[in-house]
Chain A
């Protein structure tokens, strides 16, 4: 009799284990994106002084250049410097571990500056409206990136 009861409990225990496996598998597959996001957030690359400083440089250069749109040579000189700094920033971010968000952001900022530079290189005449609008774009994006990078965990 005792043996029969023990066998019964053993049966219940093993089948319960199998039964428990089903919701666990469902839960894990359903929660995979959430678990990935949690892992990604926890493993976030820490705040980097150099990265922040380079973004700030691009932002300041854009801010200054927006005010001198009437002088094309000054704009071009500033743009060359901005191009170099944004490229330096893109390259700097590229191989920092767990830094994929910054990599995307700095690549976009570089693209924005590079497009502007190409426009100036390919056109003799550039309107003041375009100049102001373009540097405002660079300035605003650099500020957005600066805010995001500056709040990284220390």
Chain B
């Protein structure tokens, strides 16, 4: 989930709440879920960055060991 998608979903939840289709408690729980989603997105991006760096380091080591 991207940060843009998270923002869009928060707006949708606000509309559902204003229309009375979800209760205040449900709305609160959905927003807490969005906070968690934000953390997941950022941590997953960090992990993917590390994975890319890992393969770059390995490739460099392989090249250097050939020299």
Contacts and interface: CB of A to CB of B under 8 A. Distances in A.
A binds B: yes
Interface of A: 37-38, 40-42, 44, 101-102, 104-105, 108-109, 111-112, 115-116, 119, 123, 126-127, 129-130, 133-134, 137, 140-141, 144-145, 147-149, 151-153
A129 B16 contact: yes
B54 interface: yes
B30 A137 contact: yes
22 contacts: A37-B50, A38-B53, A41-B49, A41-B53, A101-B50, A104-B39, A108-B40, A111-B36, A119-B25, A130-B26, A130-B30, A137-B30, A137-B33, A140-B5, A141-B1, A144-B40, A144-B44, A148-B43, A148-B51, A153-B51, A153-B54, A153-B58
Given A41-B53, A41-B57, A153-B55, A148 B30 contact: no
A151 B37 contact: no
Interface of B: 1, 5, 9, 12-13, 16, 21-23, 25-26, 29-30, 32-34, 36-37, 39-41, 43-44, 46-51, 53-55, 57-58
Nearest to B17: A129
B29 A134 contact: yes
A140 B33 CA distance: 11
A143 to B, nearest CB: 8
B40 A44 contact: no
B36 A41 contact: no
A29 to B, nearest CB: 21
